[in-house]
Amino acid sequence: MPSDSQSSSSTAPVETELLRAVCGHFVTGVTVITSGRGEQAAGTTVNSFTSVSLDPPLVLFCLHHKSRLRDVVEDSQAYAVNFLAAQHEPLARAFAGRSTASLQEVPHRPSATGVPVLSDALAYLSCRLVNTFEGGDHTVFVGEVVDLDVPERDRRPLVFFRGAMGALPAAV
């Protein structure tokens, strides 16, 4: 028999704002997903990233159906996950808006897949797109990691918690 806290088919739909508030209690890292090549290269801030499998090496992230980056990833069939450090909050905010920052304004280089990697990223994964899934108002992009690095091991990561970005406190 289900408890009061379990969902059942007779319960009311979950309110969007309440779901956002509850999920906001899960700490996530902050990334900028980059994709495309040349003039088509673009990026957007994402915290919906996760590792899927070590063998084969698969990761995923999600984009809203209306995201400006969705078509770029689908066209290039590749993307890079750029993990941000604490000092990158302005960069994360610049790539989070509807009219995003331009990659031409941010130091970057091509990755093994040809898509840009941010030069100052805490770490990065360059991925070949292997699958997409529709999930509500988002598309889930699954990629196989083909190139990766952690160029700056001693920096603190940028995290997202309860609607705010900030540095992960230093280890005690």
Question: Would 113 be classed as within a structural domain?
Answer: yes
Question: Would 15 be classed as within a structural domain?
Answer: no
pLDDT bucket at 172, cuts 50 / 70 / 90? very low
Cα 149 off chain centre by: 17
What total number of domains does the chain contain?
1
Count CA within 13 A, CB hemisphere, residue 118: 28
Q: Which DSSP letter does residue 86 get?
A: G
Record the pTM. Answer: 0.84
Q: Which domain holds residue 143?
A: 28-162
Question: Would 12 be classed as within a structural domain?
Answer: no
Question: Would 57 be classed as within a structural domain?
Answer: yes
What would the pLDDT profile of 26-56 be if each residue is shown by its tens digit? 566 789 999 999 888 999 998 889 899 999 9
